[in-house]
A = this chain, B = another copy of it.
């Protein structure tokens, strides 16, 4: 059987799906106090999760959006904690600004050092990232330990990221790591509670990249 010849065209077009999805989100989100600048991030997080509770749990440092746009427009590095976040980021959108994506967790040097120090690779990966990506965007979608280490390094005077997108998910330390992030006076996007994850971190990075494209 040749499936190619039996094609019945679908009426659903990806752009139309996205547009209609955003309309539904606008209709259903109800009251909120996000600014016009913050709302596109909330909207894209809800789009990627179909979860309004998660979307409305987002919290922004006042400078977060501008700092994120600036980091992208000036071609800064984007550092992630896991490959799922790295591959979800729309490369076409950020490459034209000169941005590159790095997850150091599989870096040979990092693997070696983690083994030698007997700590998780996500911790050592953050230590390498912070030295190599001053002013960049750190997008954490999985590991509370990565975010906690990043916070610790910043408190100790490490070179500052431009924006921290912190969405560890889970039952142990995730909520706490995000609460710690909210205490920092450094641009961040995060959320209250246990939910989060790589799709959320990806949605936030991609939403900011779209804004960077549109800003003069």
Contact = CB atoms under 8 A, between A and B. Distances in A.
A66 interface: no
Nearest to A121: B14
A199 B202 contact: no
Contacts of A148: 10
A193 B51 CA distance: 11
Interface in A61-105: 83-84, 87-88
Given A127-B4, A157-B1, A172 B50 contact: no
A6 interface: yes
B10 A145 contact: yes
Contacts of A169: 48-50, 199
Interface in A46-62: 47-51, 54
A149 B9 CA distance: 10
A131 interface: yes
Nearest to A128: B3
